[in-house]
């Protein structure tokens, strides 16, 4: 049987994966940047989960051909929906509410161009998600799903989008003032506290 897990993924526990991508000479002590490790754990953790769940969507697509709407398919669809409907919006709020505006204030033309292009791709992915979500909802409800034509592109472009952010934007976080990094981490904490309370 094709293995597809329906377990909800955990947040990434290690921010070192990001820090190792930055040249050693540019690395300050983490003690000089309170909140940096926490912020990077959340940002990179969500990207890791998006990559994993995008692959899981493709496996689910194949699973349906061989095994139909069984319990494994249902729980997998539920797990993907839950993450993309609850955790991913928080992640985008972290970026578009705090991180990206702060990076734009650096007034670096290259960063601005990258952010503009990323915003356009984000909008395209949001539109694609609206076509993928009903497919997952049908599987979760054990109704015959209509496979969206956008499924394959969505599952490929979203991880590529995460790679793009890390490569061209996240490396600039170290250029932000320490107070801004602390504020970024606090904003992330606050959004999740509000969601948990609701």
User: Which domain does 146 fall in, by range?
Assistant: 32-197
Query: Which pLDDT does position 64 carry in this prediction?
Result: 97
Helical pair 36-67 and 71-82, crossing angle rounded to 10 deg? 150
Query: Which pLDDT does position 187 carry in this prediction?
Result: 92
Q: What is the sign, positive or negative, of the torsion defined by CA atoms of 57, 63, 67, 72?
A: negative
Helical pair 36-67 and 109-140, crossing angle rounded to 10 deg? 40
Q: What is the sign, positive or negative, of the torsion defined by CA atoms of 114, 188, 190, 50?
A: positive
The answer to whether residue 20 sits within a structural domain is: no
The answer to whether residue 9 sits within a structural domain is: no
How far apart are the C-alpha atoms of 107 and 9, rounded to whole Å? 36
Instruction: Provide the CA 87 distance to its chain's centre, in angstroms.
Output: 8
Q: What is the pLDDT along the chain (198 residues), one digit of tens a residue?
A: 443 444 433 333 333 444 444 443 343 444 556 678 888 889 999 999 999 999 999 999 999 999 999 999 999 999 999 999 999 999 999 999 999 999 999 999 999 999 999 999 999 999 999 999 999 999 999 999 999 999 999 999 999 999 999 999 998 998 999 889 999 999 999 999 988 887
The answer to whether residue 7 sits within a structural domain is: no
The answer to whether residue 8 sits within a structural domain is: no
The answer to whether residue 70 sits within a structural domain is: yes
How far apart are the C-alpha atoms of 107 and 91, rounded to whole Å? 23
How far apart are the C-alpha atoms of 1 and 70, rounded to whole Å? 12
The answer to whether residue 22 sits within a structural domain is: no
Token look-up 């990206």 returns: 100
Query: Which pLDDT does position 22 carry in this prediction?
Result: 41
**45 within 8 A of 18, measured Cβ to Cβ:** no
The answer to whether residue 10 sits within a structural domain is: no
- CATH number, residue 48: 1.20.120.520
Instruction: Say how many domains are in the chain.
Output: 1
**125 within 8 A of 92, measured Cβ to Cβ:** no
Give the Å distances, CA to CA, from 28 to 64, 82, 157, 175, 185: 49, 37, 33, 11, 18
Token look-up 């909802």 returns: 137
The answer to whether residue 110 sits within a structural domain is: yes
- Number of C-alpha atoms within 13 angstroms, CB side, residue 136? 27
């Amino acid at each position: 049987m094709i293995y597809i897990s329906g377990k909800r993924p955990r947040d990434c526990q290690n921010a070192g994966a990001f820090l190792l991508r930055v040249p050693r000479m540019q690395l300050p002590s983490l003690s000089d940047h309170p909140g940096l490790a926490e912020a990077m754990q959340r940002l990179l953790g969500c990207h890791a989960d998006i990559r994993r769940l995008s692959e899981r969507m493709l496996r689910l697509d194949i699973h349906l051909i061989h095994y139909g709407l069984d319990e494994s398919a249902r729980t997998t669809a539920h797990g993907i929906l839950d993450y993309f409907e609850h955790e991913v919006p928080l992640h985008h709020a972290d970026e578009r509410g705090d991180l990206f505006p702060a990076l734009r204030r650096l007034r670096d033309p290259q960063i601005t161009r990258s952010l503009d292009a990323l915003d356009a791709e984000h909008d395209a992915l949001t539109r694609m998600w609206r076509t993928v979500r009903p497919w997952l909802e049908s599987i979760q409800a054990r109704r015959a799903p209509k496979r969206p034509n956008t499924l394959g592109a969505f599952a490929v472009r979203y991880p590529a989008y995460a790679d793009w952010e890390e490569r061209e934007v996240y490396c600039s976080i170290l250029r932000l003032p320490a107070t801004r990094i602390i504020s970024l981490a606090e904003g992330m904490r606050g959004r999740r506290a509000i969601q948990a309370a609701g």
